[in-house]
Structure 1
Amino acid sequence: MNSIFIQNFRNINDLKLKFSDFNVLVGENNIGKTNILMAIYKVLKMNESPYRVKFSEEDFYLDNNNNRAEKIIIELTFTELNENDEVAFVSDGIDIENGKLSIRLEADWDNENNDAKVEIFFLREDDVENQRGELFKLSNKKYIPFYYIDAYRDIWRETQHSQGELRQIFKDYNKNFLKPIEIQIKNSIKKLKDYIDNEPEEPSLTNVNRLLEKLKNNNTFSDSDLDILPEELEDVKENLFNINHKIVIQEKLNDLQEIISGLKGMNKIKESLEDNLSLFVPESNELDLEIGKLSESDLLDDTKIFIDNNPIFKQGSGFQNSFVIALKLSRLLSNIRYSEENITNLIIAIEEPEAHMHPHLQRSFISKIKAKQKEFLEDLGLNVQFIITTHSPFVLSQVDKSEICLIKKGGADQFYITHLDDQFIQDICEELSKNKIKHFDYLFRTFPEIFLSRGVIIVEGHSEYGAIPEMAKNMNDIDLDELGLAVIQSNGKGTLKSVYTIIKQFTNCVAIQDKDKDKDNDEQLVSDPNEPYYTTNEKDFEAEIVISVNNLSIVKRILMNIDDEDTSYVGLVNEYVPETRRMSVQEILDNWEQLNLQNLQDNIDKEKLIDTLQKHAKNALFWSLFCSEMTEDEIPECYKDTIINAKNMVI
């Protein structure tokens, strides 16, 4: 599937999205990711006739003025069709131009009947004025199978309910391997004859002919007769093996039924029923009770799953979630395996696979699903396209950036789609020197949450990275997480503008740099004074803090996090507060409020204090703890402005 176009479906008024082999859709809650998958599902749902597709009134887009759309359009386009695909569709009269195939769903709301009129048809590429081609039929769906694993995964339903995936897997098995023996023998004879006709020179033909004669004459055959069959007849071998064992199973079940029927008291039950039945139906025939009658298919109906001797229902939610996904993929494979069609393409959509998963499982999920994609192709010749939605930075950290599709909304419900593909990189390179693109890889691996955020605050180093979130909390309780704002560090001087330039390509962002920042070759990147790119008023972060915050508070915090190698501030306190000279550092801190610190405050060297913070407090934890105790008045104005502008940017 190359692309989808959606108009007026649920919260999507107009959207066009391109797909690759592996796609990860990212966006805020309720932006429309699920509805994109549901739109595909409406058109391609397996085993459902296109004539049965339904829409409710709520499925039609409602704008901000409460005007409801009257027409839904969902259009799917497929490219790179192989020979098998083209032959299948052309034989049905479908016109294919340049290896491209398009299917359109149109739903018109009928107020009079309170229902939607739905049509699904192929688009004609050769007639622009009349694009309505052949109707899309159920028989066409087998060539573009779509399988949707939604976010609601119920372990009980999928393993115990008659319509659950586990029962469906056994039903697929029943239909193919537990058919009446006569039918299975007949199918096997046909396949053996075809092999003999097509492979007249094969040295194994003697063995094949010998087995064929046994089957024709209804003679018994053993497993050893099957072991000598060539590899090309593996399906026949498997089928006949099951026939042999089916006979053995049925004999044992018959024996079991006889044993149960012969239990003491069974005849008395039968006689009692016959006697009471004769009161109402005097001429009734002899009653026959079939007690304990089972078929081999009955044995598959009551299946329990255990992991390490514990029922699946006793496992954790994360494991159950993973098991349901695995079960659904297994069902899909069984469906394909037993299909009579030559299926070569498959689309699988998985919604939020990370639900209830531990971060390690989330990270490993992507690598395993990609390995499965490769396995499908190499072992089954099956091209599988994955479309996954996620809110997990752990999932994003494991995908290739070119596989991410960012979905955002602007004014008037307009959608903005960003693919982090080669074109995206090329666009960045037009603004940045090529050696700067390495910063995108750093961001992608270190801060994957930026792709899930409504906006980003970019700072230079660890100190600001720890400080900004705590400063925000002390500003009328601004919660950056609630606003969807991420804070990231650019990892030093000379990279901030590059990082800012990259991030603003796909999301809102603000940045703040130190005033003493060295100029670099990309200085001209942010030349517009109206851009949210700020500079400290003092030379750097530490200088801003020393100017804004009571210096005694800073000294106290330094003592609380003192380095054994740095005793200068203990000496300073001892010098100007004589009563502390016999105290340990902890005793000084315990008595801090009772000490006379005026002389100390008058003699604090601000430049030395800045230097100490730069050398011994360059870490996020120190500044996170420090700023958590700041008042709003102590927060430097440049950081207040940055936070307020970031807030206004996303609300």
Structure 2
Amino acid sequence: MHLRSFAVRNFRRLRHVHIDLANKTTVFVGANNSGKTSAMHILQLCMGTSGRFTIHDFSAECWSEFDRFDPAVEETRLPVITLDLWFDVDEANLHRVIELLPDLEWEQTDPVGIRIAFEPRDPVALHSNYLAVKSAADSATSHWPKSVYDYLRRRLDSEYHLTYYKLDHRAADSPDETPAAEGPHRLDNGRAILRSIVRVDTVQAQRHLSDMDRRGRDEDLSTTLARYYDRYLDKPSPDATALQALAQSEQQLNVHYTKVFQPILEQLQKLGYPGFTDPELTIRSELDGDSILRSGAQVHYVVPGEPVDQIDGSPITLPDRYNGLGFKNLIYMVVEIIAAHRARIETEVATPPVHLIMIEEPEAHLHVQLQQVFIGQLSSILAGTESDPGTTQFILTTHSPHIVHADFTSIRYFARIGAEGTFHHSEVRDLSVFYDDIAEQSRKFLLQYLKLTHCDLFFADAAMLVEGNVERLLLPLLISKVSPPLENSHLTILELGGAFAHKFKKLIDFLGMNCLVITDLDSVVGPSSNTKACTTDKRGAVTANQTLRQWIPGKAAIDELLAVKYEDKAAAGPLSTTRVAYQTPVSITWNSTTKTIAGRTFEEAFAFENLDWSQDAANANYKLRVDDDARSGDLDSLIQAIFDRIRHIDKTDFALTVIELDGNWTCPAYITEGLEWLADEISHLDTAVPAELEAADEPPTPQS
């Protein structure tokens, strides 16, 4: 039995989302404030494992619905937060979900669903209570409550509560489905049913591990392991001799700790950490006569070298605070996962068959190699523990490209949606669907690229696909010069070249991410079997750039590409827009002669649009200056000389020189045009909520 999926309505940014889960591990990714953490929090809130709902947990679109509510008007309703859980049930656990079966026509291949709804206890009574309090407040010239929303800021717990309903998968897709009399059937014992089939545990992102002595919420590994030992491991019988002879008891306890902690230490070894050069863990007792029974153990690290005790061969050891936070974080997560597993199988009534363990940002303090290994080894952490017929499913939230590069099937991408001046919400994209739909060759290319470059595409506000190393190196500098607002956004820059950028089209469209493609005209002439590079003004020139041919604008002739209008350089996908930026015609003058021409590459466009500057002897370090004969000739000779010069310069060296000297040059117009478009497209991500809500006494908390 396992949790197939869950659906959320009206919770923070999750206005209406459905999330399918993998049988083992599911990874939530997305830009900051996209709803990843909210998807985990609602599971905690509805299962009663963390905190309680507040008025700010309702989606922003719900705020006006509170104030429109009038029990005398049938069309108005108070908002309800719902969480629908859908389970696949095996025969062994069928008896646990009997009360959730919709009818006798249900088949075992069908999912079983339960809804947890945070809804008003009595909408009519709530409205009456609000009017009574408001009336009293008006007579007392009080400022609270000004509206139903304002009233519920302080009275939500008394007016709303959790209720449970069984669902029928045949009606689950109905957009008007609500937990009303004509909707799902209410369960009086829903809480008990839910707890009997699923348990939710969380390893929080805020783990408060410290290198120093414990202070405040920080703790060391010894505290973590002592807590696990106190709850789940066998204890030695009290020994009066141990209290009188601490040294002898320490030796006995060392043997005991080694035995009981050995399974955990072996699980750590399976993760490939510690490695050959990392310290080996051991558990040693540190007896204190006043607190021997509750704090008699301390984690130590074994220091390689000769033993200091010639009698018992004890190695040199150091307390746990002398090792790095990454090592501590790994051990902490492993112990917390095993502890949650033990707590579940030792449930007093009946062990829930489904165990959902959610881990927030496991990459904290972990080096890159271990991040890559960690996700693949999660299941092995519980291998060898007590026999358990149930299912453990992991959900991870992450901002690490090293964790998500392995494959697409486990990734759920949270996309931020919303136009300027509107409330924003999130939609969830299941990349296992993308994996199945895309051609195998393209799939292999994308996976290999993501793996080798560790790109952060899934965490960015927008994507920029650039022609080569020069553009990748110079873009931060170009952005600072012509579009400073973009410096405040998270942009991922992928160096793909014109031959490969179009391979990202389907992925970009699927994610619904705005994308700017900065590429080159790459003009060539001659038969397709033997083309030669040429300047863009050559008669019959075509582009060798497959992005321009196969994606946007879908043309081959240079003349046609140069004639494309601004609005035709963008392609609107189902959820986002992609714009291409390539060299455009510019007017240049040399020795009193003027000509309109487009550069073939970035370097040519840079030289043309900074012609006097690039040919100045003071700027010879940039390697764009041609010889004296070309500079003394006509404009066509200069253009050809620049074309020949650029084909033989070290382009990376050119880019680094631009970065180092940062002279008084102008950014090529086509790049300025593209950056300004991108800045305008993603500006709505920082747009404030509509003005009518700005006057609220207590501004809503960020809905992340």
TM-score of the aligned structures, taking structure 1 as reference length = 0.66
TM-superposition CA deviations, 1:341-365 (whole Å, max 9, x none): 4554321111111123333333332
Superposed, 1:133-152 pairs within 5 Å as 133-138=187-192, 140-152=194-206
**2:467 match:** 460
Q: Residue in 2 aligned with 1:410? A: 417
* 1:511 match: 517
* Contact in 1 for aligned 2:164/2:186 (Cα 8 Å): yes
**Partners of 1:39 and 1:74 within 8 A in 2:** no
549, 561, 569: which one aligns with 1:523: 549
Flag the 1:614–1:599 CA change in 2: closer, same or farther, 3 A: closer
Q: CA offset at residue 381 of structure 1?
A: 5.0
Which one of the candidate residues 610, 616, 621 is aligned to 2:643?
610
User: Does 1:390 pair with 2:398?
Assistant: yes
CA change 1:624–1:131 in 2 (3 A) is: farther
Mapping of 1:174-573 within 5 angstroms?
Answer: 177=234, 246=237, 249-253=238-242, 299-308=293-302, 309-336=317-344, 338-339=346-347, 341-342=350-351, 344-372=353-381, 375=383, 380-397=388-405, 399-411=406-418, 412-421=423-432, 423-425=433-435, 427-429=437-439, 435-445=441-451, 446-475=453-482, 477-480=484-487, 482-490=488-496, 492-506=497-511, 507-515=513-521, 516=523, 517-518=543-544, 520=546, 523-527=549-553, 529-531=569-571, 532-537=579-584, 538-550=599-611, 553=614
SS in 2 for 1:13: strand
Structure 2: give runs of 5+ residues left out of the alignment. Answer: 68-77, 121-125, 127-150, 172-181, 247-286, 303-316, 524-542, 554-567, 572-578, 585-598, 684-704
3-state DSSP class of the match of 2:394?
strand
Partners of 1:484 and 1:161 in 2: how far apart?
35
Partner of 1:54: 52
Rg larger in 1 or in 2? 1
Tell me, in whole angstroms, the C-alpha distance in 1 between the residues paired with 2:57 and 2:84: 18
Amino acid at match of 1:345: V
Q: Which residue identity lines up with residue 132 of structure 1 in the other structure?
A: R
Q: Deviations over 1:112-171 (max 9, x none)?
A: 881333224241439974422342234742431211111111235585799x75454233
Shift in alpha-carbon separation, 1:598–1:519, aligned structure 2, 3 A: closer
* 8 Å Cα contact 2:468-2:495 kept in structure 1: yes
Aligned to 1:444, what secondary structure does the other structure show?
Answer: helix
Quick check: 2:201–2:358 contact (8 Å CA) kept in 1?
yes
Would the alpha carbon gap of residues 336 and 301 (structure 1) be closer, same or farther in structure 2, given more than 3 Å must change?
farther
Aligned AA (2:44): Y
Query: 1:510: how far off?
Result: 1.6
Q: Hey, which of these two has a bigger chunk of strand by percent?
A: 2
Q: In the alignment, is the contact (CA less than 8 A) between 1:557 and 1:626 conserved in 2?
A: no
SS where residue 98 of structure 1 aligns?
coil
Equivalent AA in structure 2 for residue 502 of structure 1:
L
Distance 1:496 1:523 in 2: 11
Aligned to 1:173: 232
Separation (CA, whole Å) in 2 of partners of 1:65 and 1:625: 54
Contact 1:405–1:420 (CA under 8 A) maintained in structure 2: yes
Tell me, yes or no, if the aligned pair for 1:4 and 1:74 is still in contact at 8 Å: no
- Kindly provide the CA deviation profile for residues 427-464 of structure 1, in whole angstroms up to 9, marking residues without a partner as x: 555xxxx6444442244322531111111111222222
TM-score (norm 2): 0.62
Aligned position for 2:161: 118
User: 1:73-92 counterparts in 2 under 5 A?
Assistant: 73-90=81-98
Once the 2 structures are TM-superposed, how far is the Cα of residue 325 of structure 1 from its aligned partner? 1.4
Q: Which runs of 5 or more residues in structure 1 are unaligned?
A: 179-244, 258-291, 563-567, 577-596
Q: Per-residue CA shift, 1:497-547, capped at 9, x if unaligned?
A: 333443233111021332223265993543554431233122222221221
Q: Which amino acid aligns with 1:634?
A: T
Q: Partners in 2 of 1:82 and 1:555 — Cα distance?
A: 78
CA distance in 2, matches of 1:25, 1:483: 21
Range that drifts further, 627-636 or 347-356: 627-636
Q: Distance in 2 between matches of 1:60 and 1:14?
A: 12
TM alignment of 1:587-606, pairs within 5 A? 605-606=638-639
Cα 1:622–1:103 change in 2 (3 A) is farther
- Distance in 1 (CA, whole Å) between partners of 2:218 and 2:228 is 11
* Residue 637 of structure 1, aligned match among 659, 666, 669: 669
CA–CA separation in structure 1 for the residues paired with 2:184 and 2:425:
29
Q: Distance in 1 between matches of 2:633 and 2:385?
A: 74
Indicate the SS of the match to 2:377. helix
The aligned residue for residue 20 of structure 1 is 22
Identity of aligned residues (%): 17
Instruction: Output the CA distance in 2 between the equivalents of 1:556 and 1:438.
Output: 49
1:33 is displaced (CA, Å) by: 1.4
Which whole-Å deviations, capped at 9, do the CAs of 1:228-278 have from their partners, x for residues lacking one?
xxxxxxxxxxxxxxxxx63xx435247669xxxxxxxxxxxxxxxxxxxxx
Structure 1 or 2: larger helix share? Answer: 1
Over 3 Å counting, the alpha-carbon distance change for 1:338 and 1:108 in structure 2 is closer
Contact 2:455 2:494 in 1 (8 A): no
Instruction: Call closer, same or farther: CA 1:611–1:8 in 2, change over 3 Å.
Output: same
CA distance in 1, matches of 2:220, 2:367: 26
- The one-letter amino acid paired with 2:331 is F
Give the distance between the partners of 1:56 and 1:16, measured in 2 at CA: 22
Q: For 1:392-428, what per-residue CA distance to the aligned partner results, in whole angstroms no more than 9, with x for missing partners?
A: 222223x32221111112223232222221x314555
**Distance of aligned partners of 1:361 and 1:610 in 2 relative to their CA distance in 1, 3 Å threshold:** farther
